[in-house]
Structures are given as C-alpha cells and as structure tokens.
C-alpha cells in the first residue's frame, strides 16, 4: 500500500505544531492544537475548549482563503454564481428576441441577427449544462469531506492550545496483508486505515487510536448485607410506595447515564507503532478532511505456518484451504488480503482465533468437486419381545480431483450423537474401493485423510446405526 500522489504532495506541504495531538476513540475524537486564527472548520456538533473552558462557536461567511477546505467551498460558490449569471443571460437574450420587430425589414440583417442570437443562446445553454454537471460533482465531493458547507469560528480568542471534541467523522480500522511463502511461512503486515470527513483538516504531531469508547458508563456497585429477618406481611400501600421509589431511582439512574454518555454519535517520516493490544500511535500524521482513507503501516512480522485443504460436506460441499499460525501480536480484525509468493490470492479472506492459534481461510479449492447424498433408510427390530428398534442409515460422498496434479485434503464428517442412554448411535463402517484413513472422534466427528491422483474420483460410503426403545420417537 503506497500513498497516492496528491497525498504525497500534501505530506510534503504539511507543517506540524509540536503540541498538536489527536486521540481517536470508537465514538469520538479529540484534537488539540495551537490555533493560527479563529477558524475551526466546516463542522457540526463539535465543542471547543480553551484551558478547560468551553468557547462558543459562530458561523462565518468568509473563511481564511489559504485554508484547503475554504478554497473548495469558495470554488463551489463561484461556480454557482457563474451558473446563476448564465441563466440570467439566457433569460435576457430570450426577452430581446421577443421584442417587437422594426417596421422596415432588412432581410439580410435580420437573418444575420437571428443566426448570431441562436449561436449565442446555444453556447449559453451548453455552458449552463456543463456548469450544472460541475456543480453537482463538486457538491458530491464536498459531501464526502464535510458535514456542512458553512464555516465555523470561535467567538473569543485563545492564547493557549484549544481542544476540539469531534463526535463523528473520524474513523479508523486495522487491515492485514499476508504473504504465504510455500505454505510454510507467513509474512504479516498490519495497516491502520484512517478516514476523516469531520470538516476539520488535522495535522497531528502525535495521534493515538483506541479500540474503545471515550464514553463508558460504569454503574457504581457497593456492598449490601444480605439480611434475613422475620417475615412481616406488607400492606398494599407499602408495596406501592416501594415500587414508586424504585421507579424514581431507575429514572434518575437512566438520566445520569444519558448525561454521562453525552455527545453524538511518508516523506515527512510518518512513524507508527503498536503501543498495546488495540492501541496504536502515529507520529506526524497529516489527516485532511477529504473522506479519503490514509493507510499507515503499523507492524510487520513472520511466523511459521501450516496449510491444508479441508472440507465439511455435511455443511458445505466446497473444499477450501486453511492455514494456521501463532500470532506474535494480537489480531484486531478478521479481514485479510492474502498473497502467495507476492501474487494476490484473495482480497477478501477471513480469519479467526481457534484453539489458541489463528486460522486463515485463504481460498476455495476449485479443482476438488464434492457431492454428498443420503442413503435409503432401513429399519429392523431386535431384542427381547422386539422391544428395541435399530435404524440403519448413512450417506455417500463422491470426491473428484479435476486437476492434473495430486491433491490431498482432510474431510470432516459426522454421524448422529446421543446425549441420553435411551438412544445409542454408533458407526458401522466406512467403505470405499480403496482403504480410507479415518479417525472416529468424540461427538460423532469423523476425520478422513484423502489423497487423490490427477483426475481421480473416489466414492466413500458411511454407515451408522441408531438404537432405541421402539416406543420412542427420534429425530436427527
């Protein structure tokens, strides 16, 4: 992931205040910096503090022309003004064409005037149409960058740093890229992707990112003794008073919680670091309110890897590759881009923590085709006085290797399992033209190791039996 050319130019032109800092949480962000003027940005529902005191905000008709967002908004306003002027010119031209014609007609002059007038009107219509398209494009672009098109300023000056509390518009996610080397080693690169559409152009000397909320209400809990006392029948009036008091306390607590929750929902050597689990730090971060994600590399590490092809025919007849490794750092996101020896394998792979390791589901194995069919059920009764019903059942699995290379896979199947002694289930046998290596595990799980030569098809038959009292009804 390399930054785009416009971002590189922005980085080269960025300047950072030594004291500027940004803290981004899941529900809001805090930007602290030394203001050069009273302009804040094209913001909505933000609050500003100077030395802990809230400063009121006001709309401003003219914002500093050197500001990037001001230039964009001013450009849109100029386009709209030109559009209105063009429309006025068209109306004026139409009014001139509707004026009474002179009594003395010069045919040639009249034709020349009509031609020039028609040409001018056509040019104006074309210009108006182009302006309409351009204005819509600029508006759509700005909607992705700012919540509104009116600038905001602080009403009073601040000689110290100001803290801007931004309730929405700044978001971040972690992304992972994995390069698999010969199915034996994985090279993991973690990125932080930050997007700003808050209406405030941010240039933070230090930026922190937290996978937690800034507003966290903790209900105070204190010890109360558990009292045993002599039972006394309570009157209806007393019970009503207790219920009324409990309702008041519940309402009071809810109001307190609502009050506490508050708010609404590289050239310059950008340095990123892993501070703690789900906590990151970036130094010298340019984060303009452009709506375009800024991707910064956080970590890069390697780990031993084990890959295999696996299939669960009872749930899905697709075979897929599974790779397992032990992470050196906590994995915060289960969305991955997977490469194999540098070649893109899957841009939308997923993963999960599984049994103290991390498992990546890298790709579907298209060369392996699997079919699963239920067998015809058979039933017979045995035992003293025919009191026990025995039901035989099973299924067949047909596996085809459509490639011209040998393929190996692990097949996970199952037979019914019982949680009561009244019903018993057991595996009878697993049949195939060639011997199948399998293990019968707990909870009815069957693990089969299958190897198919090029273009080979293998059919496997799994038989099991369920026994129960003939008066019982079972389902599975």
∠ CA 159-22-204, nearest 5°, is 75
Backbone angles phi, psi at 428, to 5 degrees: -90, -55
How far is the first Cα of the chain from the last one, in angstroms, to the nearest whole number? 50
Structure tokens given for 53? 């005191």
Q: What pLDDT sits at residue 107?
A: 63
pLDDT of residue 231: 67
CA distance 190 to 336: 10
Residue 116's pLDDT is what? 77
d(CA 120, CA 113): 11
d(CA 25, CA 280): 11
Structure confidence at residue 352 (pLDDT): 95
pLDDT tens digits along 73-84: 999 999 999 999
Closest among 83, 89, 90, 84 to 131, alpha carbons compared: 83
pLDDT value at position 117?
78
With contact defined as beta carbons under 8 Å apart, do 174 and 332 qualify? Answer: yes
pLDDT tens per residue across span 309-358: 999 999 999 999 999 999 999 998 899 999 998 899 999 999 999 888 99
Residues 6+ apart with CB under 8 A from 407: 309, 365, 367, 368, 401, 451, 452
Q: What is residue 472's predicted lDDT score, i.e. its pLDDT?
A: 85
- CA 227, distance to chain mean position in Å, is 50
Q: Which residues of 100-132 are buried (b: 16+ CB within 10 A; e: fewer)?
A: eeeeeeeeeeeeeeeeeeeeeeeebeebbeebe
Q: Report the C-alpha gap between 84 and 135 in whole angstroms.
A: 12
Q: pTM of the predicted model, to two decimals?
A: 0.72
pLDDT at 8: 40
Backbone angles phi, psi at 111, to 5 degrees: -65, -45
Counting as low any pLDDT under 70, the low residues of the chain are 1-18, 99-113, 229-269, 376-386
Amino acid 11: pLDDT: 43
Which residues make Cβ contacts (< 8 Å) with residue 161, sequence separation at least 6? Answer: 19, 32, 33, 34, 50
Per-residue b or e along 357-385, where b marks 16 or more CB atoms closer than 10 Å to that residue's CB: ebebbbbebebbebebeeeeeeeeeeeee
Q: 103 has which bridge partners?
A: none
Please choose, from the candidates 471, 466, 461, 470, the residue with its C-alpha nearest in 3D space to the C-alpha of residue 438.
461
């Amino acid at each position: 992931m390399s930054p785009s050319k416009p971002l590189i130019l922005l980085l080269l032109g960025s300047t950072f205040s030594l004291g500027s800092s940004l803290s981004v949480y899941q529900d809001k962000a805090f930007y602290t910096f030394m203001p050069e003027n009273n302009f804040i940005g094209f913001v909505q529902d933000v609050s500003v503090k100077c030395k802990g005191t809230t400063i009121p905000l006001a709309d401003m008709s003219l914002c500093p022309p050197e500001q990037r967002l001001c230039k964009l908004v001013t450009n849109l306003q100029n386009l709209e003004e030109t559009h209105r002027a063009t429309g006025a010119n068209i109306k004026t031209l139409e009014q001139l064409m509707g004026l009474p014609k002179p009594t003395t007609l010069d045919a040639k002059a009249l034709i020349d005037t009509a031609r020039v007038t028609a040409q001018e009107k056509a040019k104006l219509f074309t210009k108006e149409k182009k302006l309409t398209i351009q204005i819509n494009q600029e508006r759509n672009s700005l909607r992705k960058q700012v919540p509104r098109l009116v600038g905001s300023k602080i009403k009073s000056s601040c000689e110290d740093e100001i803290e801007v509390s931004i309730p929405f518009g700044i978001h971040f996610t972690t992304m992972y890229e994995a390069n698999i080397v010969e199915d034996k080693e994985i090279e993991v690169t973690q990125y932080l992707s930050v997007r700003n559409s808050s209406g405030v152009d941010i240039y933070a000397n230090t930026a922190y990112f937290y996978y937690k909320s800034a507003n966290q209400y903790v209900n105070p809990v204190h010890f109360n003794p558990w009292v045993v006392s002599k039972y006394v029948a309570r009157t209806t009036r007393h019970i009503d008073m207790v219920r009324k008091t409990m309702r008041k306390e519940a309402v009071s607590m809810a109001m307190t919680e609502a009050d506490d929750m508050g708010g609404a929902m590289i050239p310059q050597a950008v340095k990123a670091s892993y501070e703690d689990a789900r906590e990151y730090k970036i130094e010298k971060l340019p984060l303009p309110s452009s709506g375009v994600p800024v991707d910064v590399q956080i970590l890069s590490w390697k780990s031993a890897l084990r890959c295999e092809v696996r299939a669960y025919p009872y749930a899905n007849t697709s075979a897929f590759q599974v790779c397992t490794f032990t992470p050196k750092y906590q994995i915060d996101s289960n969305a991955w881009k997977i490469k194999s020896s540098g070649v893109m394998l899957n841009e939308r792979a997923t993963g999960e923590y599984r049994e103290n390791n991390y498992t990546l589901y890298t790709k579907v194995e298209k060369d392996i085709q699997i079919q699963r069919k239920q067998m015809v059920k058979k039933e017979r009764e045995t035992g003293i006085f025919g009191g026990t019903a025995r039901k035989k059942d099973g299924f067949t699995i047909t596996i085809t290797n459509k490639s011209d290379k040998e393929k190996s896979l692990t097949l996970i199947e199952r037979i019914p399992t019982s949680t009561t002694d009244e019903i018993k289930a057991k595996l009878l046998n697993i049949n195939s033209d060639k011997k199948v290596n399998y293990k019968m595990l707990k909870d009815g799980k069957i693990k089969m190791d299958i190897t198919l030569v090029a273009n080979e098809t293998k059919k496997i038959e799994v038989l099991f039996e369920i026994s129960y009292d003939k008066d019982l009804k079972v389902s599975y």
